C-alpha cells in the first residue's frame, strides 16, 4: 500500500509537469508577441513623427519661398500692376498687349523691365526656372485682325514675347521657358467682357528645375 501511495503521488507529479510547461510556453509566446507589437508601435510612431516633421518643414519652405517672392516684387504689387497668388505672378493682358496682338505695349515693356531685376534676385541660389504662360479668352480669332490662326497660337506668341523681353531686361535665357494655353485654362468663366478681360493674361511662375526622371512642370492653376 505504501508503495502504491508513493507511486500515485509520483504519477501525479509526472502528469502535472507538462501542463505547467505548456502554460509557461504560452506565456513566453504571448510576451514575445507583446514585445513585437510594442516595437512595431514604437517604429510606426517614429515614422509618423518623421513624416509630420518633413511635411512641416516642406510647408515652412513653401511659405518662406512665397514670402520671399512677394518681398522682391513689393513695388509692382503695391502699385497694383501685378498680382501674386500662390507663387504665380499674374499680369492682365490689356497691360501687355492690344487685342489680337502679340506686340508689347509701352506700358507692358516698362513693367517687364521692372520685373526682371526682382526675379533675378529671387532666382539666385535657387534651383528654379521661370515658366511664362500665355492665356486668352474664349473668343475665336478672326484672321483679318492678325496673323494668328487661333487662340493657342496667339497665347504662345505672347508668352514668347514676354520671355524675350525678360531676357532683354537681364534674365538668363536658361532660366526661362514659354508655354501657350489658349482659352483652355480660364481663371473665371467667360461670362461677359469683364471676365474675358481677366482671362486674357500672362502668368510668370517660378518652378523647380526638372531633373531626369522627375515629373515635368504642370500647367499652372489659374490665378484670380
Query: What is the residue extent of each domain of the chain?
Result: 1-72, 81-208
State the pLDDT at residue 217. 55
Residues in the chain: 224
State the pLDDT at residue 214. 47
Query: All 3 cell numbers of residue 72?
Result: 522682391
Split the chain (224 residues) into runs of 10 and give each run's mean pLDDT: 49 56 70 78 76 67 75 85 89 90 94 93 89 94 76 95 96 94 94 93 90 53 52
Contact 88, 220 (CB under 8 A): yes
Cell numbers 500665355 correspond to 134
Superfamily covering domain 81-208: OmpA-like domain (3.30.1330.60)
Distances (CA, A) of 6 to 3, 12, 16, 19, 50: 5, 10, 16, 21, 66
SS3 letters for the chain? Answer: CHHHHHHHHHHHHHHHHHHHHHHHHHHHHHHHHHHHHHHHHHHHHHHHHHHHHHHHHHHHHHHHHHHHHHHHCHHHHHCCCCEEECCEEEEEHHHHECCCCCCECHHHHHHHHHHHHHHHHHHCCCCEEEEEEEECCCCCCCHHHCCCCCHHHHHHHHHHHHHHHHHHCCCCHHHEEEEECCCCCCCCCCCCHHHHHHHCEEEEEEEECCCCCCCCCCCCCCCC
State the pLDDT at residue 212. 55
State the pLDDT at residue 223. 47
The model's pTM is 0.69
State the pLDDT at residue 224. 44
Contact 137, 190 (CB under 8 A): yes
Contact 123, 206 (CB under 8 A): yes
Amino acid at each position: 500500500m505504501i508503495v502504491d501511495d508513493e507511486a500515485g503521488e509520483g504519477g501525479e507529479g509526472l502528469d502535472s509537469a507538462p501542463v505547467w510547461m505548456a502554460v509557461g510556453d504560452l506565456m513566453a509566446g504571448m510576451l514575445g508577441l507583446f514585445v513585437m507589437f510594442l516595437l512595431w508601435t514604437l517604429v510606426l510612431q517614429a515614422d509618423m513623427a518623421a513624416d509630420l516633421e518633413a511635411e512641416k518643414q516642406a510647408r515652412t519652405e513653401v511659405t518662406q519661398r512665397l514670402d520671399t517672392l512677394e518681398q522682391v516684387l513689393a513695388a509692382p504689387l503695391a502699385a497694383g500692376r501685378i498680382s501674386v497668388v500662390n507663387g504665380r505672378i499674374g499680369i492682365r493682358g490689356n497691360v501687355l498687349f492690344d487685342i489680337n496682338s502679340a506686340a508689347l505695349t509701352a506700358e507692358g515693356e516698362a513693367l517687364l523691365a521692372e520685373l526682371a531685376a526682382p526675379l533675378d534676385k529671387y532666382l539666385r541660389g535657387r534651383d528654379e526656372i521661370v515658366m511664362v504662360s500665355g492665356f486668352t479668352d474664349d473668343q475665336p480669332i478672326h484672321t483679318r485682325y492678325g496673323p494668328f490662326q487661333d487662340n493657342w497660337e496667339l497665347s504662345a506668341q505672347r508668352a514668347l514675347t514676354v520671355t524675350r523681353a525678360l531676357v532683354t531686361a537681364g534674365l538668363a535665357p536658361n532660366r526661362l521657358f514659354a508655354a501657350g494655353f489658349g482659352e483652355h485654362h480660364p481663371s473665371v468663366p467667360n461670362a461677359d467682357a469683364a471676365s474675358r478681360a481677366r482671362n486674357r493674361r500672362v502668368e510668370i511662375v517660378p518652378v523647380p528645375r526638372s531633373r531626369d526622371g522627375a515629373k515635368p512642370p504642370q500647367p499652372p492653376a489659374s490665378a484670380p
